[in-house]
Structure 1
Amino acid sequence: MDSALFDLPNLRHLNGLAAVVQTRHLSAAAARVGLSQPALTQAVAAIEARAGTQLFDRAGGGIAPLEPALLLAARVNGALAQLRRALEGVGARPHLAPLLSLAHLRGFIAAVDHEGLRGGARALGCSLSTVSRSCRDLEGMLGVRLLERTSAGLRPTRAANEFARLARLALVEIHQGFEDVALWRGEASGRLGIGCLPLAQGGLLPRALARFAAEYPRVSVRVVDGYYRTLAHELRHGGIDLILGALRGPDLPPDLVQERLFDDPLAVVARAGHPLAGRQGLTLGDLARHGWVMPRAGAPSRCYFERLMAQSPACALAPVETGAPSVLRGLLRASDRVALVSQSQVIEELEQGILVRLDLPLPGSARAIGIATRAGWRPGQPQARFLA
């Protein structure tokens, strides 16, 4: 669990800051959020200290929000809207959103992430009673059941899992608000999380990251590779900002959106010096004598491969199935096998002459390559620049 998500001012104080931005009056904002004016004044001062800059102009007896206050308030309002949606999903009153405790959310999210109270306690390095108390207190405040007893102990309900996901996204939004302010101060720090599907691991992503790092040298980048389902889970839960790779069709989760960048054709490739290299008009029969490295089950190119095999003579060698780019490249270089791959996945090897493209027509093989993000996501400036 990312502890930075919980290193934030409390939600009630952040709600107070957003109210000051909207009303431009401390007493009106204090009345709106149920705080005394002195308490709200102290809260705003503490948030300014956390942001590292003045947020309001207090000249002339008034209080006018400066640009960093507007940046932060927009993120706070978005986060509170997310929390209200989370509360409605479990049947709780949405007006409780700014009253939620970060300590309670931390314990509950840990229990959800690690499939129970014991796993949550181990992840946080605290006692089982601490996590249990956080969950009980949260249930008591909301007036709803979040945990249910199973043969394996207390586990989150299905609705509670969604509540935890949306609560985490709300905290990610607030954290991004402080990063927006840091960038406004001239500190281009922060983080960029990228889920990378296999075909983007060749030239596409490394080249994009090299350009990005030159412009934002202090932004830390985390690249996660894996299967689409795993990366989509990370994206939906705020662990990463985007997925780069082949776009999905009907199986796209409803809360994700996609943007097409380009179309990428499939290619049959082999090692340099392969017996079929340079020959024109190859057939599936020619390839069948050398054996295939085939895409893993579930990969977008697997369906196309299976259609090819339905038209091919029997292969002399059983195919090797892999979704690992390093295994695919190593196997091709060490044997006379051939592989059906995305051209962009092996662009570096083709340009360097390590692999060669074989002359087999693949009509209708082009796939849409692009980026998937969360619906409604508002990227910070570094993330937006990477996407540009």
Structure 2
Amino acid sequence: MMQSEDLNLRHLFAAVTTSKSDSISNASESLHISQPALTHAIHKLEGLLGQALFVRSNRGIQTTPAGRLFLSHVQDGLGILAAAAQKLRQSERLAPLITPERQISNTQIRAFLAVLRTGGYSLAARSLNFSQPSIYRAVQELQFVLGVPLFASDGTLMRAPDGVQHFADQIRLALASIQSGIDELNAIDKPGTGRICVGSLPLARSALLPNVLASFGNTHPRVAITVVEGQFAELVSSLRDGSIDMFFGALRRDIELPDLRQQALFMDELYVVGRSGHPLAGKTPTPVELTAYPWIVPMAHSPMRSIWEDFLSRGNAPFPAQQVECGSVLLARGLMCNGDWLGLMSRHQFALEHQYNVLKHIGPPLPDSDRPIGVTMRRTWRPTLLQKAFLDLAEEISKSISRADGQDTVRAEKTRSVQQVLSTCH
């Protein structure tokens, strides 16, 4: 399968420039190359992609529908690459480059990322099946173009400073954007195929994603879907470098995320949960009575942890003497089923156990425990048609969850209000 790293960046730049022109002659003049050279570059790119990007006629050159779809993603990717190069130079107080995306080659990028990943030229060469001198030369060429030192040796490993690490993340994001363009073309050649990579926070694994994945799988059986589980900070990092397309779970109103967009899908509330035979089952205990038992405590700095600590504080309750800090719903269920442990869960997270009388909520939902559940995306992200269909389905299923929870009126309005707050703050 064609990968973004396999495509010549200069050819991609030439194709984007041509798509903005009405003739090969105008494009070649803008690029300062001959018309035969430009025509050869476009033909080679089209041959690799297996799709015509342009049609020629006596009226000039027009971009095909497939070409427009592909090149829109390519233009995004080249723009990310150019901005990253300029930012890296700016950090060293260097003057901006003229079209850096045209001066950088895919060989240089592959070598640079391999050295960063492996920590050395020898291992990088082995991982790419290149010679060590060729890897070293490619990295030096990239360093010369950027005018910024990329690595320093600590005696055993080649290490990159923080600014270069950020540059590498942006390169990965640029390649992911170009890959989306390739995926769009593949979907034209083979309808119903493609790939989606989704991140998931704990709640989404039980309340939302299983339904979305099952329904989407029924209508798109040949689409490869990868689900990456992680904590919020991990998924944000993966989102920013293009490793995942989007992630689902509790949204964060307490963190500035200027480059990301959070979209609320439905509201959720939290219950204290324990085994069905727990001494407090069927009661409405006070916070002090609850903390007399061992607790599975939400992870520090998470929205759930803040809700739990506020609940204890308002009830003048001490922290439980026995506690396990844990973000795993599976581990929490195991502890609750094997003792008098208590924890916080959305009712979606223990719905099956509640149905079979294994776990029960203890008392009513925690006051002020409403949380927006939704999807987080890059603000400038251009989803493929397949990814857009996945998002649309997630929105539709979220509406069903809201209806099932009786959220059509009050909570639906809260969801809209939260979305307004998120869009204003970020």
Under a length normalisation based on structure 2, what TM-score does the superposition of the two structures give? 0.82
Residue 309 of structure 1: CA displacement?
Answer: 3.6
Please say which of residues 291-300 and 184-193 is displaced more in the overlay.
Answer: 184-193
Q: Secondary structure, in 3 states, of the residue corresponding to 1:249?
A: coil
Letter aligned with residue 204 of structure 2:
A
3-state SS, counterpart of residue 144 of structure 1: coil
* Whole-Å separation in 2 of the counterparts to 1:350 and 1:380: 39
Question: In the superposition, relative to structure 1, how do residues 62 and 323 fare at CA in structure 2: closer, same or farther (>3 Å)?
Answer: same
**Equivalent of 2:17 in 4, 16, 19:** 19
Q: Does 1:97 align with 2:101?
A: yes
User: Which residue number in structure 1 is paired with residue 48 of structure 2?
Assistant: 50
Structure 1 position 5 matched with structure 2 position 9: no
Counterpart contact for 1:116–1:156, Cα < 8 Å: no
1:293–1:338 Cα contact (<8 Å) kept: yes
Letter in 1 for 2:308: F
Structure 2 Cα separation of the partners of residues 27 and 289 of structure 1: 80
1:383 aligns with 2:381: no
Q: 1:193–1:242: 8 Å Cα contact kept in structure 2?
A: yes
Q: How far is the alpha carbon of 1:136 from its aligned partner?
A: 0.8
Match in the other structure for 2:298: 295
Which residue does 1:146 correspond to in 2? 150
Relative to structure 1, the CA distance from residue 234 to residue 354 in structure 2 (aligned partners, 3 Å threshold; closer, same or farther) is same
Separation in 1 of the partners of 2:390 and 2:295? Answer: 36
Gaps (5+ residues) in structure 2? 90-95, 393-426
Partner residue of 2:181 out of 165, 177, 194: 177
Partner residue of 1:67? 65
Give the stretch that moved more between structures: 146-155 or 374-383. Answer: 146-155
> What does residue range 220-235 of structure 1 map to in structure 2 within 5 Å?
220-235=224-239
Match of 2:307 among 287, 298, 304: 304
Instruction: Indicate yes or no: 2:189 matched with 1:190.
Output: no
CA–CA distance in structure 2, aligned partners of residues 51 and 353 of structure 1: 56
Q: 1:3 and 1:76 mapped to 2: Cα distance?
A: 14
Q: Who is 2:212 aligned against?
A: 208
Counterpart AA for 1:138: L
Query: Cα deviation per residue 1:302-355 (whole Å; 9 max; x = unaligned)?
Result: 122223344365688612221112111111112222211233333343345432
1:354 to 2:358 alignment: yes
TM-superposed CA distance for 1:186, in Å, is 4.7
Using a 3 Å threshold, how does the CA distance of structure 1 residues 230 and 254 change in structure 2: closer, same or farther?
Answer: same
Instruction: Give the residue type in structure 2 aligned to 1:107.
Output: A
What is the aligned partner in structure 2 of residue 282 from structure 1?
285
Is the CA contact (8 Å cut-off) linking 1:197 and 1:245 kept in structure 2? Answer: yes
RMSD between aligned residues: 2.6
Measure how far apart 1:124 and its partner are. Answer: 4.0
Is residue 250–residue 374 contact of structure 2 (8 Å, CA) maintained in 1? yes
Partner of 1:29: 27
Q: Provide the rounded CA distance (Å) in 1 between the counterparts of 2:236 and 2:43.
A: 39
Matches of 1:178 and 1:249 in 2, distance apart?
35
Q: Report how far residue 267 of structure 1 moved.
A: 0.7
Separation in structure 1 between the aligned mates of residue 384 and residue 338 of structure 2, nearest angstrom? 45
Deviations 1:112-134 (A, max 9, x none): 34556566456546555443322
Question: Are residue 343 (structure 1) and residue 380 (structure 2) matched?
Answer: no
Rounded Cα–Cα distance in structure 2 between residues aligned with 1:94 and 1:161: 22
- The Cα of 1:111 is off from its aligned counterpart by 2.8
Residue 192 of structure 2 contacts residue 223 of structure 2 at CA under 8 Å; is this kept in 1?
Answer: yes
Identity within the alignment, %: 34
Corresponding position: 1:135 with 2:134: no
1:364 matched to which residue of 2?
368
Greater alpha carbon shift after TM alignment, 344-353 vs 202-211: 344-353
Q: Given residue 69 of structure 1, which amino acid in structure 2 is its aligned partner?
A: G
Offset, 1:177? 0.9
Residue 345 of structure 1 aligns to a residue whose secondary structure is coil
Distance (Å, rounded) in 2 between the aligned partners of 1:3 and 1:335: 53
Residue 205 of structure 1: how far off its partner (Å): 0.9
Q: Does the aligned pair in 2 maintain the 1:182–1:188 contact within 8 Å? A: no
Cα distance in 1 between the residues matched to 2:288 and 2:274: 16
CA contact (8 A) 1:84 1:94 kept: no
Offset at 1:297? Answer: 2.0
The residue type paired with residue 184 of structure 1 is I
Report the Cα offset of residue 240 of structure 1.
0.4
Deviation for aligned residue 1:31: 2.3
SS of aligned partner of 1:293 = strand
Amino acid of the residue matched to residue 6 of structure 1?
Answer: E
The TM-score normalised by the length of structure 1 is 0.89
